[in-house]
């Protein structure tokens, strides 16, 4: 990998992390109560506009969140400042990474996959009944 590409990727990681910190600094929030939520998942690739759509979310004990969009499930295991992401299609794992995250007022969960230059924002609506 060229030094220039490595430098560009390093700058992206720093900028993405800084933007996440700035965006979350003013509106930081506690995690929502356990339960099922209607949600919206927005995915932003690099500098493109966000692509958003409906999702189902389940906040579980043990700092876990499951997010379902059609037949894709994101299994999120939250730690103190990072989360483990495992993306599943049925029984097959199709992706996985570790990212910094923040709970924001709304409530919303935001995290960045720096290697793929992808930003995720999960906005929770009222709890499902």
Compute the average pLDDT of residues 1-19.
45
Position 26 scores a pLDDT of: 42
Average pLDDT across the chain, whole number: 84
Domain span at 81: 3-127
Higher pLDDT, 3 or 83: 83
- pLDDT tens profile 74-117: 999 999 999 999 999 999 999 999 999 999 998 999 999 999 99
CA angle 40, 83, 123 (to 5 degrees): 15
Q: What is the CATH number of the domain that holds 75?
A: 2.40.128
Quick one: pLDDT band at residue 11, thresholds 50, 70, 90? Answer: very low
Total count of domains within the chain: 1
Give the residue from 109, 128, 103 showing the smallest Cα distance to 43.
109
- pLDDT tens profile 43-60: 999 999 999 999 999 999
Each residue of 4-16: b (16+ CB within 10 Å) or e? eeeeeeeebeeeb
Q: Model pTM greater than 0.85?
A: no
Position 106 scores a pLDDT of: 87
């Amino acid at each position: 990998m060229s030094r220039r590409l490595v430098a560009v990727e390093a700058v992206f990681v720093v900028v993405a992390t800084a933007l996440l910190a700035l965006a979350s600094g003013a509106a930081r929030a506690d995690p929502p109560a356990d339960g099922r939520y209607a949600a919206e998942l927005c995915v932003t690739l690099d500098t493109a506009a966000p692509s958003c759509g409906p999702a189902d979310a389940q906040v579980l004990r043990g700092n876990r969140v499951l997010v379902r969009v059609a037949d894709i499930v994101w299994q999120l295991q939250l730690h103190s400042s990072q989360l483990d992401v495992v993306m599943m299609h049925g029984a097959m794992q199709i992706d996985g990474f570790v990212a910094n995250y923040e709970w924001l007022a709304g409530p919303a969960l935001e995290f960045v996959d720096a290697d793929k230059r992808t930003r995720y924002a999960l906005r929770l609506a009222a709890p499902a009944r």
